[in-house]
Amino acid sequence: MQKSQWGRLIERIRRNFKTEKEYSREEKITKDMKAVIDTIIFSTSGKRMKLERIVRPRVENVKYHYSRLTQRGTHQEYQYSETEIVEIIKLYQWDQIKNDWREVNLDKL
């Protein structure tokens, strides 16, 4: 989803639903790369919903490092693209029982 499409979607949510909060934050991936997360929280039909757009560099390769020593364990090393980005859209619904956000499966909508 391009930034202009995201902007139109946010405007449509603002017009049709009651918005509670809207913010953008950055998460550090490596010392040189960041992910940008845009979030809007809104209410629809008595349900609290959260829509997130995550923009980050594409993962090109994953290296797995293993150790025979139990104290060291294993870890993964990610290699990110310098030129390509990935945009991920996630929808969450507020779960009052667990008092936390639960991700909605967009394939079932």
Is residue 78 in a domain? no
Which residues lie below 8 Å from residue 109, measured CB to CB, with a gap of 6+? none
The reported pLDDT for the residue numbered 36 is 94
Domain that holds residue 24: 3-57+84-108
User: Mind listing the pLDDT tens digit for each residue in 16-27?
Assistant: 999 999 999 999
Between residues 40 and 2, the one the model is more confident about: 40
User: Mind listing the pLDDT tens digit for each residue in 31-62?
Assistant: 888 999 999 999 988 899 999 999 999 989 99
Cβ pair 49, 92 in contact under 8 A: yes
Rounded to two decimals, what is the model's pTM?
A: 0.80
Cβ pair 1, 7 in contact under 8 A: no
Is residue 71 in a domain? no
Indicate whether 108 pLDDT > 90. Answer: no
Total of domains in the chain = 1
Is residue 66 in a domain? no
The reported pLDDT for the residue numbered 70 is 66
Residue ranges of the alpha helices (H) in the chain? Answer: 3-16
Is residue 31 in a domain? yes
